[in-house]
Amino acid sequence: MSAGQRIGPLLSAGLLMGAGLGGFVDGIVFHQILQWHNMLSGWLPPDNLVDAKINMLWDGLFHAAVWLMTVAGLAVLFKAGHRPDVFWSGRVFIGALWLGWGGFNVIEGAIDHHWLGIHHVMESAANPWPADLAFLAFGVVLILAGWRLIVHR
């Protein structure tokens, strides 16, 4: 990195896209493929058609939000690509992606699983806490790995 070059735009793009990626993995894998939970399944179990449709609506709104985050990240990345003062580094970008994904897991896990209780990772488990804690721990691992990639570029 030469004097005057910046990594901020690359970090911003990676953080936004990483948070979007984390949301998509959560929504696609846990909500749709494994069907372990829905957005509001802790408050409104989808055990009848009306509640299932309400959960589906909120899952869709969640997916729309993480899609917008991803698009915003792509826009920042595209704009950064036209700036000569941006330092381009795969390590910085991948590190920022991991930071964003890990940040998503920690924030979403803390708020939705622990604070509000709107759902747990494995809603039907007799004890949902191990999966919730694993979700948070994976987020912390991603944050630490992303930070290491960025700092040791």
Query: If we measure between CA atoms, which residue out of 98, 82, 84, 76 comes closest to residue 9?
Result: 76
| Per-residue pLDDT tens over the stretch 33-55 | 999 999 999 999 999 999 999 99
Interatomic CA distance for residues 63 and 74, integer angstroms: 16
| Angle, CA 32 vertex, CA 26 and CA 33 arms, to 5° | 95
Structure-token pair, residue 92: 């910085």
Q: Which amino acid is located at 112 in the chain?
A: D
Q: Can you give the three-state secondary structure of 56-123, one letter per residue? A: HHHHHHHHHHHHHHHHHHHHHHHHHCCCCCECCCHHHHHHHHHHHHHHHHHHHHHHHHHHCCCCCCCC
Check residue 5 and give its pLDDT.
74
Interatomic CA distance for residues 120 and 126, integer angstroms: 11
| Residue 4 burial class via C-beta count within 10 angstroms: exposed 0-12, middle 13-18, buried 19 and up | exposed
Stated pTM of the model: 0.92
Check residue 2 and give its pLDDT.
59
| Per-residue pLDDT tens over the stretch 20-35 | 999 999 999 999 999 9
Q: Which amino acid is located at 103 in the chain?
A: G
